[in-house]
Structure formats: structure tokens, C-alpha cells
Amino acid sequence: MNFANQCLSNNRKMNLPPFSTICLLRCSSPTQKSNNTFLERAAIVLSNRKEINVIGPIPSLISKSKGNYRNHLHIQTSSKPYLNKVLKYLTEEFNKWPETKKIKWSFDIDPIDLN
């Protein structure tokens, strides 16, 4: 029980789940440029939102798989309902962007691993 309490205490101090919620916006494409253009644009859109912290674009730990480069954007906020609202808005925006046709993207909410 002491170990679990220590982990929770550390997560509280670092504002990690369950005291916040994290989403990885993952994308892959044959070129790094397409990934970075898409993720940088998403980061700019998110920078206008309150209570959202964004890190990236970041290359995945396995940066290339099956001929595609993989990158992600780390998105963090304190409320899952607010995150869901923001992701719904982002999805609507992505459908308007020409970059979306060049990449595959997905959201990973509260990911098990960050690669």
C-alpha cells in the first residue's frame, strides 16, 4: 500500500493521471515533413485553448515502421470532459485540412505507453 500511495503522491506533484488526463495525437506518413506540418498546425490550434498543455511534435520511440515515419503530439489537461470537447473540435478542423489526406492520424487517450 505504501508503494501505491507514493506513486499517487508523485503523480499529484507532477500533474499526471489520475490528476490530469493525457492524449497522444499520433500520426504516420511516408515523410517526416507531412507529419510535422500536420502536428505543428494542430499545436497552433491548441495553443489558443485554455488549460491545455502541448508538447511536440515528437518522434515516436519507434520512429519508422513499415515505411512510414511516426510522430506524436502530447496533449494534457486537467479534465477529461474538457479534453473530449477539444478533441471533437480538433477532429472537425482536421477534416478541413489538406494535410490530413497525406497522413494517418489517431487519438490515444490516457495511453499505456508514450511511444
**Domain definitions of the chain by residue range:** 2-109
Does residue 60 surpass a pLDDT of 80? Answer: yes
Distances (CA, A) of 74 to 6, 9, 56: 25, 22, 6
pLDDT of residue 10: 83
Angle between helices 80-94 and 32-47 (to 10 degrees): 130
Average pLDDT, stretch 62-82?
90
CATH class of 2-109: alpha beta
Burial class (CB in 10 A: 0-12, 13-18, 19+), 97: middle
Does residue 65 surpass a pLDDT of 70? Answer: yes
As a whole number, the mean pLDDT across the chain is 89
